[in-house]
Homo-oligomer: A and B are copies of this chain.
Amino acid sequence: MNKPITDKLQPAAIPTGERPGSRKVYQSGTLWPDIRVPFREVAVHPSANEPPLTLYDPSGPYTDPTVRIDIEQGLARTREPWVVSRGDVEIVENPRAVKPEDNGFAKGEHLAPEFTAPRRVYRAKPGANVTQLEYARRGIITPEMEYVSIRENQRREAGAKFIRDGEDFGAEIPDICTPEFVRDEIARGRAIIPANINHTELEPMIIGRNFLVKINANIGNSAVLSHVSDEVDKMVWAIRCGADTVMDLSTGRNIHNIRDWIVRNSPVPIGTVPIYQALEKVGGVAEDLNWEVFRDTLIEQAEQGVDYFTIHAGVRLAYVPLTAGRVTGIVSRGGSIMAKWCLAHHKENFLYEHFEEICEIMKAYDVSFSLGDGLRPGSIADANDAAQFGELETLGELTQVAWRHNVQVMIEGPGHVPMHKIKANMDKQLKTCGEAPFYTLGPLTTDVAPGYDHITSAIGAAMIGWFGTAMLCYVTPKEHLGLPNREDVKVGVMTYKLAAHAADLAKGHPGARLWDDAISRARFEFRWEDQFNLGVDPETAREYHDETLPKEAMKTAHFCSMCGPKFCSMKISQDIRDAARQQNDVDINAGMAEMSQKFRDTGGEILVPVEPAE
């Protein structure tokens, strides 16, 4: 068996190694000394006389040069002892067996290989609830909670002075994130740690408006058979670029087996839309969906370790006709599946009807809800309409149900929304859903730019992130047009990374300015290598620079290609600053005449020798 698997895996494709100029470092816990929280440390040139900058790092062991990656074994199951030691889980002796329909009846060479490395499957003991929300409300600080508190601080230390001049619209971000703060936010439902007890390879992360804004990248095989390694590669590529969670939106065949490979090799939470697989199991006929096949799919995926499920329980029968007058109707795939089911049976959405039973499953594995916005607007014309906001009211009601069960919840949001209607979405979500984390797609601020929807949506994403959205679902340049390739995934993730950071800055997150200031100092001091390495995408920055000034010497030059060697605004500014420093104790204006003379005498002209232009 090994040979064919290896062939199909193409393990050479998985990107590993540290990112440029970066070093993988870890910080241990205090309450839980065994936890090791990863960071990316970027050292700068000695001339800067600055400590290295610590950045958040979702890339997992793939950027740790000391770890040997073997995707056939999966990542180390670091969380397994945490889960087991709580004493409230049991091993599932007869886990659900893989059925032919789980993989769309693929067989022979069309069947993706199984992930065969053995593992134990857990679930809560009868009557137990193993969610982080349950623990939080019982006053327990779990290793997951301490882990994310350390992670959020990015090695900032208590007592330091942070620049916090943002407008946070009522968020309550502390200078330093403590484990107790994490526990309290989870207990209040304002944050979630998506962490299925069967995803023990996970490096926990937190989603909530009082934490760093996170981003999600979607991957997924299409109808045509993908190599499983392609999907693992896409996931690794996305987190290497900076994705905090990954949704596997696979359709068609081999959904089960591919997901196994992804979860076993993922250090970030994996989300899915279970109705997609359920639909495949009933041959693609929405009317044939039923609670039993859906329930079976939830168990299947919960046992695999999926961390959050998008559930379109808010697409109620009564809302469906509200979409009839829309310009673009229903654009959510899950939403339209449920709408079709409701119409065909003229019955209430069975996900809504069975919501409490779904909660029972979620709490046995700690799968978090991502309550789907099946009626999100697909065009500017449909933004903030009765269908959309009707569904949001229902999601608020379901949030309360989930919280009664101590199940973690976040809420999905639009869609296409013009700028002036974005804040109303956030305000309504906070009010209706009791501050449960908002997880939005974009929103796209205009419909007119196919090919540039990563940008139309980054505008809306940055704004809604500022207003309080906890996680932004990326959009790639291929949105509306086709399936993203590797380059599109990179562009989408980088775009959302910068949008999320712009939101953190505007909110006044205590750690945000440190990053901007570090790169700006590097820019001002012509530390080109530092500017590349500190950027969201060092490789692209370097490549763009080298197109114009490719020579190695140019990377230490005190000028850039915009002003050229003869005249440089940055250099003049440094002269001004130096002059001001020399003046120091005398009044700076009174001393200007003197400065003027000194300036002429000592460095009044800045000419950097270069080769003649012709």
A-side residues, CB < 8 A to B, are 110, 163, 165-167, 222-225, 251-253, 279, 284-287, 317-318, 320-321, 323-333, 335-337, 339-340, 343-346, 378-381, 416, 418-420, 445-452, 454-456, 458-459, 462-463, 466, 477-478, 480-483, 485, 494-495, 497-499, 501-503, 505-508, 513, 515-517, 519-521, 523-524, 531-532, 534-537, 540-541, 543-545, 547-549, 560-570, 572-577, 579-581, 588-589, 592-593, 595-596, 599-600, 604-605, 607, 613-614
Contact = CB atoms under 8 A, between A and B. Distances in A.
Contact of A446 (B324, B327, B505, B604): B505
Contacts of A332: 569
A486 to B, nearest CB: 12
Contacts of A340: 572, 575
Given A536-B449, A605-B285, A318 B498 contact: no
B285 A523 contact: no
Nearest to A337: B567
A501 B446 contact: yes
B596 A345 contact: yes
B448 A378 contact: no
Number of copies: 2
B321 A502 contact: no
Nearest to A571: B336
Closest 9 CB pairs of A and B: A329-B573, A482-B548, A324-B580, A336-B569, A379-B520, A346-B596, A419-B506, A451-B540, A449-B498
Given A284-B566, A337-B567, A589 B379 contact: no
A257 B563 CA distance: 20
Given A448-B498, A451-B540, 12 more contacts: A251-B567, A321-B589, A324-B577, A327-B520, A329-B569, A379-B516, A380-B513, A420-B505, A447-B516, A455-B458, A458-B459, A459-B502
A538 to B, nearest CB: 9
B515 A448 contact: yes
Given A279-B567, A534-B448, A567-B284, A613 B520 contact: no
Nearest to A321: B588
Given A336-B572, A445-B505, A448-B535, A459 B519 contact: no
A388 to B, nearest CB: 14
Given A419-B502, A451-B537, A483 B592 contact: no
Contacts of A328: 520, 523-524, 570, 573
A525 B163 CA distance: 50
Most chain B CB inside 10 Å of its own CB: which residue of A110, A327, A380, A547: A380
B379 A505 contact: no
A248 to B, nearest CB: 15
B418 A505 contact: yes
Most chain B CB inside 10 Å of its own CB: which residue of A343, A485, A607: A343
B577 A482 contact: no
Given A381-B520, A455-B455, A576 B343 contact: yes
Contact of A483 (B284, B458, B548, B605): B548
A224 B613 contact: yes
Contact of A613 (B223, B517, B565): B223
B524 A592 contact: no
A573 B321 contact: no
A478 B544 contact: yes
Nearest to A525: B328
Given A418-B506, A505-B380, A614-B110, A498 B456 contact: yes
A386 to B, nearest CB: 13
A507 to B, nearest CB: 8
A608 to B, nearest CB: 12
A178 to B, nearest CB: 26
Nearest to A549: B482
A175 B337 CA distance: 41
A318 B320 CA distance: 65
Contacts of A482: 544-545, 547-549, 560-562
B449 A343 contact: no
A573 B498 contact: no
Most chain B CB inside 10 Å of its own CB: which residue of A454, A537, A574, A576: A576
